[in-house]
Amino acid sequence: MKTLKFKLYQHKRNKFLKRSINAAGVIYNYAIALHKRYYRMWNKHLSCAKLQSHIAKLRKRKEFWQSVGSQAVQDICQRIDKAYQLFFKHHKKGVRPPNFKKVKKYKSFTLKQAGYKLLGGNRIKIGSRVYQYWNSREIEGKVKTLTIKRTPLGELFLVVVVDSIDEPGIKLTTGKIAGFDFGLKTFLTCSDGSCLEKSLLLGEPQDRVFRKIESPQFFKQSFNVIKKANRHHSRKLKGSSNRERARKNLARAHEDIANRRSDWFWKLALSLTNRFDVLCFETLNLKGMKRLWGRKVSDLALRDFLDILEWQALKKGKLVVYIDQWYPSSKTCSCCGHVLETLDLSVREWRCPSCQSVNGRDENAAKNIQAVGASTVSLGDVRQSQTAIAV
pLDDT digits (tens, 9 = 90+) for 23-33: 999 999 999 99
pLDDT digits (tens, 9 = 90+) for 33-67: 999 999 999 988 899 999 999 999 999 999 999 99
Coil, strand or helix: which one is 205?
coil
Question: Using an 8 Å Cβ cutoff, are 32 and 116 in contact?
Answer: no
User: For residue 253, what are the contacts with CB-CB under 8 A and spacing of at least 6?
Assistant: 222, 225, 226, 229
- Mean residue pLDDT of the chain comes to 87
CA dihedral defined by 102, 104, 108, 114, rounded to 10 degrees? 100
| Predicted structure pTM score | 0.84
All domains of the chain in start order, with CATH: 2-162 (no CATH), 177-214+258-385 (3.30.420)
Phi/psi at 378 (5° precision): -100, 130
Average pLDDT estimate for 72-83: 95
Choose the weakest-confidence range: 66-75, 163-172, 309-318. Answer: 163-172
177 in the Ramachandran plot: left (φ > 0), alpha (ψ -120 to 50) or beta?
A: beta
Evaluate the CA torsion angle 70, 72, 78, 81 in order and state its sign: negative
State the pLDDT at residue 30: 96
Residue 165 per-residue DSSP state:
-
- For helices 302-316 and 241-275, the axis angle rounded to 10 degrees is 50
State the pLDDT at residue 170: 66
Quick check: 315 pLDDT over 50?
yes
